[in-house]
Amino acid sequence: MGISGDDIREDLSEQCGLPMALAEIGEKWSLMILRAAFNGVRHFEEFLSEMGIARNILASRLVRLTDSGILERTPCPDDRRRVEYSLTQKGRDLLPAMVALRQWGEKWQLGVPSNPVLVDARDMQPVQGMTIRSHDDRVLHIEDLCWIDASDRDIANPASRRDLEQHAVAETVAREGFF
């Protein structure tokens, strides 16, 4: 009647940020709406004309995105018909993921850099390709990575560095997996 062992295991396996993220922004149009929001689009009719989305779908997505705190809905004080949708910090925090996706699309589908080009405002040079970095700032490639269990880290944490390494290596051998 309650939660079975399998259910708990299922829940734990979903203790990963990726499925969580997809649950909030994985529907059709959600990321395109956020892209428009990053582009300074703020109003319903403006989203509607900039992208090829249907009215009812846009309305439902805007509700979902504001409900999950990614967009903020503010009625305009000067014109009370209008509503302003703007990115919250949670929404703005999606920029690295969106830039990484865009760069992937540029590299593998477009073949050339997208237009406009994302540049550093200080010197107008294009930003780097998104990379995974170590704590001491080295660029890590897929073969430099491995995954260890959080509880193993917790156990090993106050212990000596040798212990930690032994532990982690054993764990690494055990799972070739990732997320």
Considering only residues 46-105, where is the footprint of a second copy by CB under 8 A? 69, 90, 92-105
92 binds, among a second copy, DNA, none (CB under 5 to 8 A by kind): a second copy
Residue 3 amino acid letter: I
2 binds, among DNA, a second copy, none (CB under 5 to 8 A by kind): none
The verdict on 55 binding DNA (CB under 7 A) reads yes
Piece of 1-9, 54-62, 73-81, 142-150 that binds a second copy (CB under 8 A): 142-150
Residue 31 and residue 17 in contact, taking contact as beta carbons nearer than 8 Å = no
When binding is defined by CB under 8 A, the residue of 8, 63, 117, 170 that contacts a second copy is: 117
The Cα angle at residue 115 between residues 114 and 117, in degrees rounded to 5: 85
Residues in 56-115 that interact with DNA by CB under 7 A: 56-57, 59-60, 62-63, 73, 78-84
Binding residues with a second copy: total (CB under 8 A): 84
CA distance 13 to 21: 15
**Tokens linked to 140:** 């890590």
CA distance 160 to 79: 64
The verdict on 25 binding DNA (CB under 7 A) reads no
**Tokens linked to 36:** 């428009």
